[in-house]
Amino acid sequence: MRDEYDYIIVGAGSAGCVIANRLTEDPSVKVLILEAGGEDNQFFYRLALGFHSWRYPETNWSYETEPEPHLGGRRLPLPRGKVLGGSSTINAMLYSRGHPGDYDLWRQMGCTGWGFEDVLPYFKRSESNWRGESDYHGGSGPLQVSRVAMERFLGEPVIEAARRLGYPITDDHHGELPEGFGGGDTTTDARGRRSSAARAYLHPARSRPNLTIATHAYATKLILENRTARGVAYVRDGQERQAFAAREVILAGGVYNSPQLLMLSGIGPADHLRELGIAPVLDLPGVGRNLSEHAGYWTQHSTREPITLLRELRADKAALSLARWLAFGTGVMASQSNSCHAEIRTREELSQPDIQIYFNPVRPDAKPWFPGIVPQQEHRLTSVVCLLQPKSRGWMELRSADPRDKPRITLNLLADRSDVDTMVRSVAMVRELYGTDPLAGLIADELMPGPEVRTAEEIEQWLRDTLITTHHSVGTCAMGIGEEAVVDPQLRVRGIEALRVCDASIMPTVPGGNTNAPSIMVGEKASDLIRGRELPRAELHRSKAAA
């Protein structure tokens, strides 16, 4: 079966949904978007506290790493959204762009047009922020951004303890002071519903006659002719199909699937492809390399009194909260379970934060309970500590020439000694915070890392035994100008005509924050690059703290 379009987008994730919307604003342009997952019409996709749905195989591709060489051979789970909206439909909805210096670094690496003043207009175009229109925020974009509503659950003691220790306090991590402790933002609307990329961009466009959305459509190979992308081969409903693009093929499958499709099509490290029986079309050694991820760890502290969100999970109260969310879009079900967060430096001489801490007023394994029937768990406070500027780099490769085989992924976390040292320093900083009033007065015991983990050597071993990922992987089709670069600053695949990659895989380094908002920004900017236009650069007079 053969279909013809102007553009074919492979992947309806965070960036792909944006591009599909923006390109089809022109009614003369015909677009096909292929999504290997299904529709996003399940109830729990909209529920803010339903983000734990990523644990279910029907929502998640359930990737995992190979045995991690610096973590004792442990395999780490790598959930990826198996649904319209991709991972934006199953993520924790925290809106974070990273530090302005992250994007200035991209520009310094040769990525012209990707400095902070270049990308800020695309962040603004994407969002409708609860703060309204400003120099740093958009007020009328498709993506709804709301204030985290959980601050009343122990946010104030955390911020006051940080204030007493001399940390900066900020009301907006994306404004003049992108450093310090403060409340967070989530991609939820005013009625407490998830604002995924699919809900924000794809659904409003799906009634357009020039947009075709194909779910359960698994791309297997690019159709190439004389090093020019002509179309995509895919399987749907058990049938092998082909779709052809008169203008361009756009890969937006994400950090693992975009390089996977390139390699299946003969574009990538030639020796690796030959080993699997794939004839190289173009030896592009950077495909699948430069994999960067935020390593993280949990801390847990038991509380003296039953003061955590667990008290709201008593079965009858939870049922009432759910009804309140359905009727009014308010209450504990209408927001992410986060009290506040921080971006801070572990060394004063650093130019920008190198760790991020999320403070959650509940244990990560919290379950509904009811007196006399299901026992209540112990009340605990949880923090997630994240390494923002990792030096370690991993890689991904094909497992075989079969498109259905999951790729082999090695994050290579803690390979670089500086990453280990930063994480060890961060443990002492978190302990100091929890030992400072008024937060200290709420704590009974430290459970993780625990009092038995004291020396630097013990902390390092604990990190290697327990380290997690924060699901912020980027970089496997890195943008740049060197030999390892896969795409140029226009996101065009080097050496192949009419082919671009437009998703988190093009980021040369991981931004110092969550990656959903940057991925949506990439989609916004990519749609203009494809159309040969560009928003004017922002004119900011950045303070020293924001520079």
Residue 542 confidence (pLDDT) above 60: no
CB atoms within 10 A of CB 347: 9
- Residue 83 marked in a binding site: yes
Q: For residues 160 and 181, what is the distance between their CA atoms, to the nearest angstrom?
A: 9
In this structure, what DSSP letter does residue 54 have?
Answer: G
Tell me which amino acid residue 496 is.
I
Residue 325 confidence (pLDDT) above 90: no
Does a structural domain hold residue 425?
no
* Length of the chain measured in residues: 547
Model confidence band, residue 192 (pLDDT cutoffs 50, 70, 90): confident
Q: For residues 429 and 478, what is the distance between their CA atoms, to the nearest angstrom?
A: 33
Nearest Cα residue to 424 out of 394, 455, 393, 469: 455
Residue 313 confidence (pLDDT) above 80: yes
Does a structural domain hold residue 225?
yes
Instruction: Write the CB contacts of 227 (distance below 8 Å, at least 6 apart in sequence).
Output: 281, 282, 495, 496, 497
Model confidence band, residue 283 (pLDDT cutoffs 50, 70, 90): very high
Give SS3 for 529.
helix
Q: For residues 11 and 88, what is the distance between their CA atoms, to the nearest angstrom?
A: 12
Does a structural domain hold residue 353?
no
Q: For residues 201 and 126, what is the distance between their CA atoms, to the nearest angstrom?
A: 9
Percent of the chain scoring above 90 in pLDDT: 81
Q: What is the mean pLDDT of residues 76-92?
A: 93
Q: For residues 130 and 456, what is the distance between their CA atoms, to the nearest angstrom?
A: 43
- The pLDDT, as a whole number, for residue 545 is 45
Q: What is the mean pLDDT of the chain?
A: 93
Partners of residue 344 on adjacent β-strands: 355
Does a structural domain hold residue 179?
no
Does a structural domain hold residue 416?
no
Does a structural domain hold residue 453?
no
Q: For residues 204 and 285, what is the distance between their CA atoms, to the nearest angstrom?
A: 39
Give the number of C-alpha atoms closer than 13 A to the C-alpha of residue 328, restricted to the C-beta side. 7
Q: What is the CATH number of the domain that holds 226?
A: 3.50.50.60
Does a structural domain hold residue 450?
no
Gyration radius from the chain CA atoms: 23
Q: What is the mean pLDDT of residues 168-181?
A: 94
- The pLDDT, as a whole number, for residue 321 is 82
- The pLDDT, as a whole number, for residue 455 is 97
- The pLDDT, as a whole number, for residue 152 is 60
Tell me which amino acid residue 125 is.
R
- The pLDDT, as a whole number, for residue 544 is 45
- The pLDDT, as a whole number, for residue 8 is 98
- The pLDDT, as a whole number, for residue 536 is 96
Q: What is the mean pLDDT of residues 450-479?
A: 97
Partners of residue 299 on adjacent β-strands: 383
Residue 90 confidence (pLDDT) above 80: yes
SS (H, E, C) 330-349: CCHHHCCCCCEEEEECCCCC
Residue 315 confidence (pLDDT) above 90: no
Q: What is the mean pLDDT of residues 158-180?
A: 95
Nearest Cα residue to 208 out of 24, 352, 346, 404: 24
Task: Quick: pLDDT tens for 487-541.
Answer: 999 999 999 999 999 999 999 999 999 999 999 999 999 999 999 999 999 988 6
- The pLDDT, as a whole number, for residue 353 is 97
Count: domains in the chain: 1
**Range of the structural domain that residue 209 is part of:** 1-35+76-138+197-288+397-405+473-538
Q: For residues 126 and 192, what is the distance between their CA atoms, to the nearest angstrom?
A: 19
Whole-model pTM? Answer: 0.95
In this structure, what DSSP letter does residue 110 have?
Answer: T
Q: What is the mean pLDDT of residues 107-126?
A: 98
- The pLDDT, as a whole number, for residue 155 is 87
Does a structural domain hold residue 426?
no
Task: Quick: pLDDT tens for 229-260.
Answer: 999 999 999 999 999 999 999 999 999 999 99
What distances in angstroms separate CA 52 from CA 37, 92, 162, one per listed residue?
18, 8, 29
- The pLDDT, as a whole number, for residue 54 is 56
Catalytic residue positions, numbered: 472
Residue 371 confidence (pLDDT) above 90: no
Residue 212 confidence (pLDDT) above 90: yes
